[in-house]
Structure 1
Amino acid sequence: MIIMGPPGAGKGTQAGRVAERFGIPAISTGDIFRSNIKNGTDLGRQVEAILSSGGYVPDQMTNEIVRDRLAWADAAPGFLLDGYPRTTGQVDFLDKVLAASGHPLDGVIVLTVDEDAVVARLHKRAETEGRADDTEEVIRERQAIYRAETAPLIAIYAEHGILVEVDGMGTVDEVTERLVKALDADRP
């Protein structure tokens, strides 16, 4: 499965809850990048400047990280991708990787939120988690990139018949409840 939505929509929080419910790993490209930055790896040094300016890491680099992570044993029974794919090129790459493994996507969850509420959410997260990359300018840039590059993926997955839209506004528990109901209703 994939969970999508603009930065700050609550994907990471909800991904953890959904993954736990289904007994699969939640795989966050953002967490992978931040861990590498914190640990001073070559990858971390390469992506730090990109992320701090509000940009996205290039497809080729992100694709290889995802391919590697999906090959881990814990992802064999299933997985939930958070923060990937973000571009049509990444969709094509993921389709090829999944086709080669014989495991198609079961669903794509989209959390829908109000952009101004997201900006407020991210400012609060910056304060509580000490995330220096969450300035208003960077937040607005990420929202613009999402609208231009990632939002069109919603139409692709809708055409595939695997899109599940969920209202991402409200408390964490309210969103989780809506999400679980939507996923349970979508399962055969």
Structure 2
Amino acid sequence: MKTSLSAESAFADAAAGAQKYSRVAVLLHWMIALLILANVALGLTVALMPDGSLSDTAIRFVIDTHKSIGITVLGLAIVRVLWRLTHRPPPLPAEFPSWERAAAHAAHVVLYVLIFAMPLSGWLHDSAWVAAASHPMYLYGLVPWPRIGFIMNLDAGTKEQLHAQFGALHTACSYALYGVLALHIAGALKHQWVDRHSVLRRMMP
């Protein structure tokens, strides 16, 4: 009897494990999510604070930290995609209708595109900054990080125009990311609490 129960328990554990993402995928998912939330907070800190409420040194620290986190997210996103391509994700619950499966897939694709577009547009925006040459960038104040060379080598007028355009693109991507993240979270909560599909545990440690 004990042997039978042990076998059933092992089978149940294996079946539950097959429905979960790998530990590496879970770690990358939550690291990227937390870093994005931190960067949203940093961006809003500068945008919403009244003029003159922060010193130039404090503003520079917040902006430089925002840039460093953005580059970190870009690196982690590359690792996440490579891991996803080489490790098959767990299937969605069988109860999901086909349209929900298609919607979930489309939302993930858009989410990945925006996760890449955000740091890349920010990097372009920073590289077009007219003072970039005299203000080298360091990740977390320690590691030198290059700007995009061909952008920096443009004339000042062109860089100023591109700086504004890339900034607008970065802002647009951020709002789009907020919307997709809200839908992603709402969908996960709906499936968990309304439909009673255990989707959250697939990405939990």
Higher RCO (CA-CA < 8 Å; seq separation 6+): 1
- The structure number with the bigger radius of gyration is 2
The TM-score normalised by the length of structure 2 is 0.27
Instruction: Say which structure is richer in helix.
Output: 2
Instruction: Say which structure is richer in strand.
Output: 1
